[in-house]
């Protein structure tokens, strides 16, 4: 009897040590692996259909899905980055020409510029009483130089972040390929490791899939609606490239911080600069009061109803997930709470009835 306990204790101690070592090895890649697992659950129906179409050729089916995902994500992303780069270059050239005194006549005719100049002149008259003179051109030049130095100092960090994003994206796609091709067998083995009967194992895995799809589909649906509403406002109010900015707003809606305001606020500022004060105010009110509130209203409805979670639990699940896991917590937070609710239901069915 003592020997049996010794063997059992040694086995589990060794197992825990190996699991800990494995965790340390995989910890730098856990986020990429988790994203790959989420994508695998989402695209698995398409993979299963393609696998049937290709008569069981798993490698070709998985590779086709990877190529399609790459084309869907990378090509629009490169086009958007290229468009934004062109706009930034145009902005830099405009600022440089204004700093050299070129094109000032056009800007001086704008109503909002005239208002600022009148206010500046009045401020200068009041400050002159206190012998407080400001060389505003020199101040602006120093500010521009400081800003330029700040941006230049952060260029290496931006390049490094882009490289890390590209590397993680490649790791996600590489992992996703094997999850699709070999995921069914892996899930089958993992399912039989759980100390549950077959029915409870099936229900638990179904809850995992339903939770992931509910959260991701809900986030994507809300982002599409917000991009559509914002793009329609851009088009009606005269923001150039309204279709492109609507798509960018939809992508920005998926960001955990800032969201649609990352795009809508600069668009409103653009209208103010063009002298379209009323349109700028209307766009700002629309984007904050309507587009921004869509996220707070529809996301709990789309996600909470499918997860069968109270709105308060879903609210804390999203915020807590973002605080703990970052952007990944937008998915993991509600999913973990949904799984907790499913496990509690299983516990009540298994042990609650036994106690009665």
Domain count, the chain: 2
Rounded to two decimals, the pTM is 0.65
Distance CA(334)–CA(93), nearest Å, equals 46
Q: 237, 238, 229, 239: which is closest to 260 by C-alpha? A: 229
3-state DSSP call for residue 164?
helix
Specify whether 159 is located in the same domain as 274: no
How do residues 119-142 score in pLDDT, each as one tens digit? 655 655 555 555 555 555 555 555
The whole domain housing 219 covers 197-356
Q: Which two tokens stand for residue 35?
A: 């994203």
In a domain, 88, yes or no: yes
Specify whether 144 is located in the same domain as 237: no
Mean pLDDT of the chain: 75
Specify whether 208 is located in the same domain as 161: no
pLDDT > 60? residue 9: yes
Specify whether 213 is located in the same domain as 317: yes
Using CA atoms, how far residue 103 sits from 100, 107, 111, in Å, is 9, 7, 16
Residues 339, 211: contact at Cβ < 8 Å? yes
> 160, 183, 206: which is the final residue of a domain?
183
**Number of neighbouring beta carbons within 10 Å of residue 309:** 21
List the beta strands (DSSP E) in 74-198.
none
In a domain, 319, yes or no: yes
Distance CA(219)–CA(44), nearest Å, equals 19
Distance CA(96)–CA(120), nearest Å, equals 22
3-state DSSP call for residue 308?
coil
Q: 42, 347, 27: which is closest to 211 by C-alpha? A: 42
Q: Which two tokens stand for residue 346?
A: 């299983």
Specify whether 173 is located in the same domain as 235: no
Residues 301, 315: contact at Cβ < 8 Å? no
Q: Is the dihedral of CA 285, 287, 292, 297 positive or negative?
A: positive
Residue with tokens 């130095």: 149
For the segment 88-94, the average pLDDT, to the nearest whole number, is 58
Specify whether 173 is located in the same domain as 234: no
In a domain, 7, yes or no: no
Specify whether 142 is located in the same domain as 243: no
Specify whether 84 is located in the same domain as 52: yes
How do residues 148-190 score in pLDDT, each as one tens digit? 555 555 555 555 666 777 788 888 899 999 988 887 778 777 7
Specify whether 232 is located in the same domain as 178: no
Specify whether 349 is located in the same domain as 298: yes
Distance CA(64)–CA(45), nearest Å, equals 14
How do residues 248-260 score in pLDDT, each as one tens digit? 888 778 776 667 8
Tell me the range of 27-41, 239-253, 324-338 where mean pLDDT is highest.
27-41
Specify whether 157 is located in the same domain as 224: no
C-alpha 270 chain-centroid distance: 25
């Amino acid at each position: 009897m003592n020997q049996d306990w010794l063997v059992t204790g040694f086995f589990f101690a060794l197992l825990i040590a190996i699991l800990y070592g494995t965790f340390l090895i995989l910890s730098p890649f856990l986020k990429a692996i988790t994203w790959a697992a989420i994508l695998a659950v989402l695209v698995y129906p398409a993979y299963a259909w393609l696998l049937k179409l290709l008569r069981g050729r798993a490698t070709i089916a998985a590779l086709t899905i990877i190529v399609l995902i790459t084309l869907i994500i990378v090509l629009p992303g490169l086009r958007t980055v290229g468009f934004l780069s062109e706009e930034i270059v145009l902005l830099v050239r405009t600022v440089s020409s204004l700093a050299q005194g070129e094109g000032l006549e056009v800007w001086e005719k704008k109503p909002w510029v005239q208002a600022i100049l009148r206010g500046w002149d009045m401020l200068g008259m009041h400050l002159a009483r206190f012998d407080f003179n400001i060389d505003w051109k020199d101040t602006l030049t120093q500010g521009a130089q400081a800003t330029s130095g700040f941006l230049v100092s952060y260029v290496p960090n931006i390049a490094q972040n882009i490289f890390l994003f590209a590397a993680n994206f490649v790791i996600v796609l590489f992992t996703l390929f094997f999850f699709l091709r070999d995921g069914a067998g892996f899930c089958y083995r993992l399912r039989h490791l759980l100390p549950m009967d077959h029915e409870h194992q099936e229900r638990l895995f179904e809850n995992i899939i339903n939770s992931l799809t509910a959260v991701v589909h809900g986030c994507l649906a809300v982002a599409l609606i917000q991009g559509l509403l914002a793009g329609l406002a851009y088009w009606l109010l005269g923001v150039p490239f309204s279709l492109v900015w609507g798509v960018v707003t939809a992508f920005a809606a998926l960001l955990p911080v800032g969201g649609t305001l990352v795009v809508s606020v600069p668009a409103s500022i653009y209208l103010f600069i063009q002298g379209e004060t009323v349109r700028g105010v209307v766009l700002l009110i629309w984007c904050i009061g309507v587009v921004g509130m869509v996220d707070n209203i529809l996301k709990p409805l789309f996600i909470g109803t499918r997860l069968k979670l109270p709105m308060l639990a879903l609210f804390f699940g999203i915020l807590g997930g973002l605080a703990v896991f970052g952007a990944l917590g937008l998915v993991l937070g509600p999913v973990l709470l949904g799984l907790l609710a499913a496990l509690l239901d299983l516990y009540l069915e298994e042990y609650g009835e036994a106690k009665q």
